[in-house]
Chain A
Amino acid sequence: MMRTIEALSLCVSAGPRQLLDDVSLSALPGETIALVGPNGAGKSTLLRTLAGEIVPSRGRVRLKGRDLRACRADLLARQRAVLPQSVATAFPFTVREIVGMSLDGLGVRTAGAWVEAALAEVDLDGFQDRSIDRLSIGERQRVHFARVLVQLAYGESREGPGLLLLDEPTSSLDLKHQLGVIAAARRRAANGTTVIAVLHDFNLAALFARRVIVLRNGRTIADGPPPQTITDSVLGETFGVFSAVNRVPTGATPFVLPQTAVLTP
């Protein structure tokens, strides 16, 4: 099967700092990958490099077999959609305008159907005519998630399953909507979309991903299914947090309990 995305020994540096140091990653259609790691580990940098936003100083990224550097921005936008950590909107667009923005050029009625479906999925039905700057931060995050879902859906309707990149998609959300976002992402993966998400919550990561990649100081520390990556030794090594990992008695899915954690081994 052709890999959706294939990144080979990526290096990214900003001045003297090495943000990514020889990171490789490839993913198959339908795969769900969580990127975890301490603050400043290079998770967002990796995501933005995969998105084509950052050009690596070494290494290369292929999206569905094509080198990213050879891809025009508009063609790229049909193959992958990106949810950034936060979006500051300069002008008071309405929710409907923002969610349908990537459908520019499509007829109003066609675009409207995509927009309504995405808004329903993020539980923002009825918010269509609200101005984005009147919403709470969590609501805004869901608006932009809906916008990204619309772009992805439209791209996939023309080019087949693509790539969904999410940078901390649940950071401002309440529990219900955290679960909603994870469920929506998993539904996309079930249809063949490759989903890569930066997550800080290990429990959400274990719920969402079949594969967890642990980054520290721009390097890959661990890469594998949650039971092998969310372990006391990995968490101790990367975060300096010990004895936090527990397991559900019946299954192998690990969960992290802050109450049991200690900061020294």
Chain B
Amino acid sequence: MFAMTQDPARRGPTSVRAGRSRPRLLRSWLLPGLVLALLAIMIAAAALGPVGLSPTRIAAALGLAAGDADPAMLDRDRLVLWSIRLPRIATAALVGSLLAAGGAVMQGLFRNPLADPALVGVASGGALAAAAVIVTGDRLLGGQNGELPAGFLPLAAFGGALGATSILYRIATRRGRTSMAVFLLAGLAVAALANAGLGLLVLLADDRQLRDVTFWLLGSLNGATWWKAAMLAPFPVALLISLPFLARGLDWLALGEAEAFHMGIDTERLKRLCIVLVSAMVGAAVSLAGIIAFLGIIVPHLLRLAVGPGHRLLLPASACLGAGLLLAADTCARTLAAPAEIPIGILTSLVGAPFFLAILLRQRDRFDQ
């Protein structure tokens, strides 16, 4: 009876205003498009650098095409590609995907589109723990040449990020509701605390350690190796495996914790998974590339504008777009001022901060509470 009483005059203007319908074409082609774009950026990144490589020389060096070049040049091309450019491309893409997807998961967990792991202290927590290992590690582990056991640094960064995320979650969330203001302020305090700790460590550090610690503060993909890239590879896989549970849970969580439970998800399990996942992803990225801000907030934001906030598409798309953007940024960072290299953290902040301000400007109403 209720449906029958609908006023037919109302449907006209409503369906006209409903122009915000999500473009279905965009939704179905987004992921393939992003993967193709990522591949194109990868080829460009492989080609650009002090030694310029044309696509045919890349193909020859990779063994994909029979090259007619002389063997000496082929050997040199192979060396440049396999030991310098490709590991760096893999690392940049993986770090970018972890930061962007980590940001999307964190925004879902905190129900806050402004949550960026690097802005609210999660990355700083990771960097603090990693720097503490660099500075005190020599003495504690007795290593004479300053070589830490492999994997130790990422583990420490994960611990630091986990600590920061847990503190934030406990402070900002009460009875299943997260206050945006408390969250951002608490994030500022956590980041300030971690940065103060970093400052103290800088005072304690000797010259070599100082160089290593400075690396965290600025962020850089210099010195990427296959081994480092391989350490990051499990995380996107973990994200993909947990995607069905995670996407459904984060969609439901957007309505509130109680509502997510009403719709049928174990919210405690979901939150634990999210906290561990964000910390692991951001910690791993920080341990290899230092603090790179804004990627985690801009990428999911752009994608939400384009295809909506549903996490089933948002999470994998964030990973792809994040990979492409960071790879492009890194390629700029190492070629724009060659032979010098701009620290990528500086570059992303230079571009990201104004962009972030523009988001705030456009959506002030939404964030007002």
Q: Are A87 and B256 in contact (CB under 8 A)?
A: yes
Tell me the chain B residues, 254-289 only, with Cβ under 8 Å from chain A. Answer: 254-256, 258-259, 261-267
Binding stretch for chain A, among B49-57, B83-91, B190-198, B302-310: B302-310
Q: Which residues of the other chain, A, contact B253 by a CB distance below 8 angstroms?
A: 90
Chain B residues lying within 8 Å of A128, measured Cβ to Cβ, are 18, 21
Say which residue of B11, B22, B254, B310 sits within 8 Å of A89 (CB atoms): B254
Q: Which of B2, B3, B263, B308 contacts A94 (CB 8 A)?
A: B308
The CA-CA distance from A217 to B329 in the complex, in Å, is 62
B82 → chain A, closest Cβ, in Å?
43
Instruction: Tell me, yes or no, whether B67 is within 8 Å of chain A by CB.
Output: no
Q: Jot down 6 A-B pairs with beta carbons below 8 A, ordered by A.
A: A74-B266, A84-B259, A90-B255, A92-B366, A129-B21, A134-B20
Q: Is B113 an interface residue (CB 8 A)?
A: yes
- Residues of chain B lying within 8 A (CB to CB) of residue A78: 264
Contacts of A144 in B (CB 8 A): 255
Are B262's CB and A131's CB within 8 A?
A: no
When chains A and B are docked, how far (Å) is the Cα of A82 from the Cα of B261?
10
A97 CB, min distance to chain B CBs, angstroms: 6
* Inter-chain contacts of B304 with A (CB < 8 A): 91-92
Establish whether residues A180 and B262, one from each chain, have CB atoms under 8 Å apart when the complex forms: no
- CA of A84 to CA of B267 in the docked complex: distance in angstroms? 17
B259 touches A77 (CB 8 A): no
CB-contact partner of B3 in A87, A97, A120, A129, under 8 A = A120
A-B contact number at CB 8 A: 115
Interface string of B1-27 (1 = CB under 8 A from A): 111011000110011011011100000
Q: Are B2 and A101 in contact (CB-based, < 8 A)?
A: no
- Chain A residues with CB below 8 A from B256, complex form: 84, 87-88
Which residues 299-356 of B have a CB within 8 angstroms of A? 304, 308-310
Contacts of A183 in B (CB 8 A): 1-2
B residues near A105, Cβ cutoff 8 Å: 248
> Chain B contacts of A122 at CB under 8 A?
2
Contact A94 B20 (CB under 8 A): yes
B246 CB, nearest partner CB in chain A, Å:
12
Once the chains bind, are A74 and B264 in contact (CB under 8 Å)? yes
Cβ–Cβ < 8 Å partners of A92 in chain B: 304, 308-309, 366
Contact B11 A125 (CB under 8 A): yes
CB–CB B15/A184 < 8 A: no
Instruction: Render A91-128 as a binary contact track against B, CB cut-off 8 A, 1 for contact.
Output: 11110011001101100000000000000111101111
Q: What B residues does A131 contact at CB under 8 A?
A: 20
Q: Does A36 contact B (CB under 8 A)?
A: no
Contact A126 B11, beta carbon cutoff 8 Å: yes
- Judge whether A76 is part of the interface by a CB distance below 8 angstroms: yes
Given A92-B309, A93-B309, the answer on whether A53 and B6 have CB atoms closer than 8 Å is: no
Q: Is A176 an interface residue (CB 8 A)?
A: yes
**In the bound complex, CA of A91 to CA of B255 (Å):** 8
Scoring A81, A104, A144 by chain B CB atoms within 10 A of each residue's CB, the highest score goes to A104
Question: Chain B residues with Cβ under 8 A from A84's Cβ?
Answer: 256, 258-259, 262
Residue contact B18 to A129, C-beta cutoff 8 Å: yes
Tell me if B222 counts as interface (CB < 8 A to partner A).
Answer: no
Contact at B259–A127, with CB atoms within 8 Å? no
In the bound complex, residues from chain A placing their C-beta under 8 Å from that of B20 are 94, 129-131, 134
List residues of B whose CB falls within 8 A of some A CB: 1-3, 5-6, 10-11, 14-15, 17-18, 20-22, 108, 111-113, 177, 248, 251-256, 258-259, 261-267, 304, 308-310, 366
The docked-state distance in angstroms from the alpha carbon of A183 to that of B11 is 23
A51 at the B interface (CB under 8 A) = yes
A151 contacts partner chain B, Cβ-Cβ < 8 Å: yes
Chain B residues lying within 8 Å of A123, measured Cβ to Cβ, are 2-3, 5-6
User: Are A48 and B266 interface neighbours, CB within 8 A?
Assistant: no
Contact indicator B14/A127 (Cβ below 8 Å): yes
Q: How far is the CA of A78 from the CA of B263 in the complex (A)?
A: 8
Q: Collect the chain B residues with CB atoms within 8 Å of residue A134's CB.
A: 20
Q: Which residues of A contact B248 (CB under 8 A)?
A: 104-105
B262 touches A77 (CB 8 A): yes
B17 touches A130 (CB 8 A): yes
Please determine whether B22 and A129 come into contact, CB atoms closer than 8 angstroms. yes
The interface bits of chain A over 71-83 (1 if a CB of B lies within 8 angstroms of the residue's CB, else 0) are: 0111111100110
Closest chain-A Cβ to B204's Cβ sits at a distance in Å of 42
- Asked if B254 and A130 make an inter-chain contact with CB atoms under 8 angstroms apart, the answer reads no
Which single residue of chain B is at the shortest CB-CB distance from A127? B14
> Please, which residues of chain A bring their CB within 8 A of the CB of B177?
88
Determine whether the beta carbon of B262 is less than 8 Å from that of A127. Answer: no
Minimal beta-carbon separation of A227 from chain B (angstroms): 26
B254→A91 contact, CB < 8 A:
yes
Q: Determine whether the beta carbon of B254 is less than 8 Å from that of A77.
A: no
A133 within 8 A of B: yes
Given the interface contacts A78-B264, A89-B254, A90-B254, does A125 sit within 8 Å of B6 by beta carbon?
A: yes
By a CB distance below 8 angstroms, the chain B residues around A82 are 258-259, 262
Can you list, as one digit per residue, whether each of A212-253 has a CB less than 8 Å from chain B (1) or not (0)? 000000000000000000000000000000000000000000
User: Are B258 and A91 neighbours in the complex by a CB distance under 8 Å?
Assistant: no
Asked if residues B263 and A53 are in contact (CB atoms below 8 Å), the reply is no
Report the Cα distance A84→B175, complex, angstroms.
14
Residues of A within 8 A of B266 (CB): 72-74
CB neighbours of B111 from chain A (8 A): 90
Query: A226: shortest Cβ distance to chain B, in Å?
Result: 22
